[in-house]
Amino acid sequence: MFNLLTTLVDNNRIYGKQGKLASYIPSLLEADPEHLGICIVELNSGREFHAGDCDTKFTIQSISKVVSLILALSDNGRENVFKKVNVEPTGMGFNSIINLEVRNKKIPYNPMINAGAIVTTSLIYGQSKEEKFERIIEFLRRATNNQNISINEEVYECEKITGDRNRSLAYFMKSNKVLEGNVEEILDLYFRQCSIEVTARDLARFGAVLANDGLAPWNGQRLMSRDVCRIAKTIMVTCGMYDASGEFAVKVGIPAKSGVGGGILATVPRSYGIGIYGPSLDKKGNSIAGLRLIKDLSDELDLSIF
């Protein structure tokens, strides 16, 4: 496995040159476009395999949408969550606003686009925004078996300053009564969760929890119900890779979620958790070398669930 991962990283690193770093925040531009790393946690043996830049920190960005979905479902139950956010792919970019107006029902299409994640974030329980954030980061610490997970304050400040599109989505949803409560507080929580730093190794462990039906494989602790875990994986398949989710399902065939920090969280039910980092992105916002790497891996190990 180790040799395979090293070969796949070496073969695909070059594709970082063909993409672009996310540029809406200066600190995301500091990443090295040719960084590429992968970590795999094998459920059967509990072993971790890795190659390339798998301990480089990057911000979780949209991958945090999986966490807010899991917490919203655990806190409110699926009926209450899916009254406020749908589960259909959009075929549109992750921060598109158009569907919020043209549909009959004004709720966002799914929890993996920005509008949908702002809604699931608003549903997370807690007495204060600090407590809500603590619950998000604590969930991630447990799901990655890494107590050192923390926020990148510089990215958080920039998310706040540059977050006008997210602000528009949120206030638009407030005007339609989809979003309730203090919009600025909800946005602040969303910006914070996007700014949490992880590594490919952290994502691989999170993927292993999802692969293991919500139980942390290293200590048997249940982090979410089987039902919540199943819903999260299903929506990752249909919507996790933005408007490239269909193509990804055909070519790779496993539940996955990407973020503009360059991360990919992937999970092969009952077999593997996979974490990838490659900050150079394609036009849709997915890691350009990461996509090729995971496609090659899926071909080599016959990972498609279909």
| Residue 267 host element (H or E) | strand 263-268
Q: Which of 9, 15, 65, 228 is catalytic?
A: 65
Q: Check residue 61 for interaction with ligand GLN (CB under 6 A).
A: yes
The yes-or-no answer on residue 65 being catalytic is yes
**Using H for helix, E for strand and C for coil, what is the string for 42-83?**
ECCCCCEEEEECCCCCEECHHHHHHHHHHHHHHHHCHHHHHC
Least Å distance, CB 221 to ligand GLN, is 28
Q: Which tokens is 201 given?
A: 């190794």
- Is residue 62 annotated as part of the catalytic site, yes or no? yes
Which C-beta is closer to ligand GLN: that of 62 or that of 144?
Answer: 62
Clarify whether 284 is annotated catalytic.
Answer: no
Our finding on whether 145 is near ligand GLN (CB under 6 A) is no
CB of 63 to ligand GLN, least distance (A): 7
User: Would you count residue 68 as binding ligand GLN (CB under 6 A)?
Assistant: no
Closest-CA residue to 97 (of 119, 113, 85):
113
Residue 240 contacts ligand GLN per CB under 6 A: no
The helix/strand/coil state of 34 is coil
The DSSP annotation for 132-145 comes to HHHHHHHHHHHHHT
41 three-state secondary structure: strand
Q: Is the dihedral of CA 34, 65, 5, 246 positive or negative?
A: negative
Decide: is 186 part of the binding site for ligand GLN (CB under 6 A). Answer: no
Q: Which residue of the set 15, 109, 190, 272 is catalytic?
A: 190
Selected binder of ligand GLN within 260, 264, 266, 297 (CB under 6 A): 260
Contact flag: residue 6 with ligand GLN (CB under 6 A): no
Is 9 marked as binding a ligand? no
Q: Which of 62, 74, 96, 280 is catalytic?
A: 62
Q: Which of 15, 156, 242, 277 is catalytic?
A: 242
Whether 137 and 210 have beta carbons less than 8 Å apart is answered as no
Using Cβ positions, the residue closest to ligand GLN within the complex turns out to be: 62
Question: How far apart are CB 67 and ligand GLN at their closest, in Å?
Answer: 13
Q: In the structure encoding, which two tokens stand for residue 228, read together? A: 């919540």
Q: Is 260 a catalytic residue?
A: yes
DSSP-H helix ranges across 60-217: 64-76, 78-82, 99-102, 114-122, 129-144, 153-162, 164-175, 183-194, 200-211
Question: What is the set of active-site residues?
Answer: 62, 65, 190, 242, 260
Annotated binding-site ranges for substrate? 62, 114, 159, 166, 190, 242, 260
Chain residues that interact with ligand GLN, rule: CB under 6 A: 61-62, 94-95, 114, 159, 166, 194, 259-260, 285
